[in-house]
Structure 1
Amino acid sequence: MSDVTVAADFGASLVRAIFSLNSQSQALKPELMLIAPQVLRVPSKSIENYEKYKLGNSMPENSAWVKLGNDYYAVGHLAKTHFNAVHCLESLKIDSAIPQLLAIVGSIVQSKQMGNSFSLSLGILLPWGEYTDRDRFESYIKQALSGFCFRGKEYFVTLESFTCLPEGAGLFARGRVPHKGGDRLRNARELNIAVLMIGYRNASILFIEKGALSWGCTENYGFSRMVEKVQQFTSGQKAERLVEVICSGSKPSKKAVAGLVRTNMVELREQEMQEIAAAIADAKQEYIAILTNWLKQRLPDRPDEIIVNGGTARYLQPELTQFFKSLGAGATNWCSSLDERVVKTFGDLVRAQHLQSRLLDAYGLFFQLHNRPLPRLRDTVETAEEAHHDEARVS
């Protein structure tokens, strides 16, 4: 048994990792590590100056930098706030995933005060379009883990096992959980099941035919499409702030939109508010049209079940539910039981930040790595109470 198990999902808006420190105990206590997605290669002098002049002692995940070979990388909150790094949506996930993963591992080790040498069982999720990179990623990460520096300390990690699955596989593996009092789910080997993931960067479909993965596809039809369209028709709006307002409700309130107004001229504020609100409404309708047209072309004819997840999918849940009905598809599974387990496992922090839908795939993968079924709902309460005490260290 390895010392640490990590299930990682390298999201374009947030890197999510669910991990455990393994022991002989039968109790399995998943913990959560969240890191901003920004990665920036910086000169060694920049890191030296940062360490020399920084004040305070922040949590490892909030001050993450990695030295790999002769290269230095600022990761997450440090890259975003100290070095003004911008996450590039056009680059492959594998390009930034290795510094991100080293930052995750380093943050876990330092927060848990472990030694500098240990073994790791790792599971990662990649979009279908990048799934062919899995062997290359394994080779790179195995070499990187064998000797790297995190926040000035050296670590030597043995990659004991590596599992790479396409995004959505964690949902398929552990997401088919019946509701309380519901009928027993039909065996997946009898069904044709489509797994749909819609995130910030892209949308992916996996098609499982009679229990076996048949095909998949990924396109850049994520939430960023809608955000970029709003930016085209408004003045000087930042993507991160737009996301907050757009996701505040199916139709953002006047108060929320007012927070985006940039003009200082009182007589023009109302006009700018109306323009922003109209841009959001128009961009949403256009995005729904583009997304559903793609789904209509790519989804198989009348699947027995559609498993749906991702932060964007949840935002569009009413529209997508109606769309699936129009296709004559079978049951639509929004993974509500899995959702409930994630909330109970990680406490109020997840619900307060609406993170549960973004954690389900990694949560399912985590239990698959341990070859265990999902915990019963009553067995997740203790973990949630413990997680509440650790909220301050989750960035």
Structure 2
Amino acid sequence: MVCIVKKRELKEKEKMADLTMALDFGSSLGRAIYTTSNSYIKPELLLLDPHVVEVPNIAIANYEKYKVGNPSPQDSSWVNLNDTYFAVGFLAKRQFSTIHCLNSLKIDSAIPLTLAMVGAVAEIKGLGTTFSLDLGVLLPWSEFKDKDKLKSVLVSALQSFEYRGQHYHVTLQAFDALPEGGGLFARGRVASKGKPMKRVTETNLVVLMIGYRNASILVVERGELTIGLTSDFGFSQMITKIKTFTSGQSEDVLIPAICTGKSISDRTLERLARSQRAELREAEKKEIKDAIEDSQQEYVATLTNWISQQIPPHLEIDEILLGGGTAKYFKRNLTTLLKSYGAQINWSQSLEKRVVQTFGNEVSKNYLASRLADVYGLFYRLLKKPLPRLKEVVTRESA
């Protein structure tokens, strides 16, 4: 029996590309889950700041010349594509003071981000400079129609690019693209207690993905995607409102402070306050607290109103799947709204549990589980495999 299993695993390895990678070009964090053919389906995680900036060749040359230390590939990523140089991730943010532009299309930064992530993994795992790649990507519904264009550009770009001074030649063996939320739909459905799970062709499903930049709705009726919508009602809208109501606050400071919990502690307010004068500092803390609370209420009202308007009122919904860090943050509000539809509400717990047990407690501590669930589902779809059982994930993690 053991021999049969070993032979099956070897055959599956032969079919795999040298690198299999699922990507989520998140506006707050680029996420990649990958595996290599020489480590039989052991999912690994790579995170990259989403910043991308085109820079002159001399800027990269000077960076490399005067660099002190040996930073990790993902923290010192740069790409040369057809003599056009890009600083990517933490390097773009730190060295070139790049501000991530939420108004640009995700697909615009997808090429250098993909090349940087592929190059970083190649360095980390010692894949060499010539290898094959199976790639899956998540795109906002509003940009999903460009998936074939993206594939065409990627095929050419991967064939010849430079990453951190090393030339790579990567063959795109397979490509899969899903709209954001597609990973939840592909691998995140669960059966109701005591009932077998219905086939997709027998159910009406709604998928809600709410992240930092976008909120997306997918409506699947009897196996057919009938509605796809993307709006700008992401977490960033609330952050922008808070900045409008306060003085001198930035996203980099506000986001981690707010994400510690719904209620803002005095300790957090103390860190956010900028005034040096005691009599002004208390007033500023109250101003920040009021701004956060008012903006939260306004954002929730706007978001829930948009969701209510977009879900067809006549549709009898069987299941609602939710994902994204912002959705999890406002779980109580969204649950209250969605209960009225009488559907099974699925918060992608099955995916999140596997994410935590696969990648460790650090993922849970940094509130990453809900932000990784979608790309985790895409990863297993790309492999054409069901999710591992939880006990199998635990065994692999402890091995």
- Per the normalisation by structure 1, the TM-score is 0.94
SS at match of 2:272: coil
Deviation at 1:215, TM superposition (A): 2.2
SS of equivalent to 2:227:
strand
Over the aligned positions, Cα root-mean-square deviation in angstroms equals: 1.3
Cross-structure match for 2:27: 12
Q: 2:334 aligns with which of 303, 320, 337?
A: 320
Equivalent residue, structure 2, for 1:278 = 290
**Which of 198, 201, 211 is 1:189 aligned to?**
201
CA distance in structure 1 between the partners assigned to 2:280 and 2:200 by the alignment: 58
> Identity of counterpart residues, as a percentage?
50
Structure 1: how far apart are the matches of 2:359 and 2:373?
12
CA distance in 2, matches of 1:104, 1:276: 37
Residue among 281, 303, 307 paired with 1:269: 281
The yes-or-no answer on 1:61 pairing with 2:74 is: yes
CA distance in 1, matches of 2:191, 2:247: 47
The amino acid that maps onto 2:149 is R
In the alignment, structure 1 segments of 5+ residues that lack a partner are 387-395
C-alpha distance in 2 between matches for 1:182 and 1:353: 34
Partner of 1:125: 138
Counterpart of 2:382 in structure 1 is 369
Check the 8 A contact 1:177/1:338 in 2, yes or no: no
Contact kept? 1:306, 1:329, Cα under 8 Å? no
Paired residues for 1:71-220 under 5 Å: 71-178=84-191, 183-220=195-232
- Alignment: residue pair count: 382
Kindly report which structure 2 residues correspond to 1:289-304, keeping only aligned pairs within 5 A, or say none. 289-301=301-313, 302-304=316-318
Letter in 2 for 1:208: V
Q: Which amino acid aligns with 1:88?
A: C
For residue 240 of structure 1, give the secondary structure of its aligned residue in structure 2: helix
Q: 1:178·1:337 contact (CA, 8 Å) conserved in 2?
A: no
The equivalences for 1:30-69 within 5 A come to 30-69=43-82
- Residue 222 in 1 paired to residue 253 in 2? no
Q: Once the 2 structures are TM-superposed, how far is the Cα of residue 60 of structure 1 from its aligned partner?
A: 0.5
Counterparts of 1:10 and 1:177, CA distance in 2: 26
Alpha carbons 2:206, 2:317 under 8 Å: kept: yes
3-state SS, counterpart of residue 200 of structure 1: coil
Indicate yes or no: 2:266 matched with 1:254. Answer: yes
1:344 aligns with 2:357: yes
- Is residue 21 from structure 1 mapped to residue 36 from structure 2 by the alignment? yes
TM-score normalised over the length of structure 2:
0.93
Matched-pair contact (CA < 8 Å) for 2:190–2:346 = no
- Report the 3-state secondary structure (helix = DSSP H, G, I; strand = E; otherwise coil) of the residue aligned with 1:57: coil
1:183 Cα offset (Å): 3.7
CA drift of 1:242 comes to: 0.7
Residue 322 of structure 2 is aligned to residue 308 of structure 1: yes
Segments of 4+ in structure 1 off by > 4 A?
A: none
Tell me if structure 1 keeps the 8 A contact 2:207–2:322: yes
**For the residues of structure 1 that align with 2:341 and 2:165, how far apart are their CA atoms?**
57
Letter of the structure 1 residue corresponding to residue 36 of structure 2: L
* From 306, 313, 330, the counterpart of 2:343: 330
SS in structure 2 at match of 1:374? coil
Cα contact 2:270–2:285 (8 A) shared by 1: yes
Q: CA deviation at 1:240?
A: 1.8
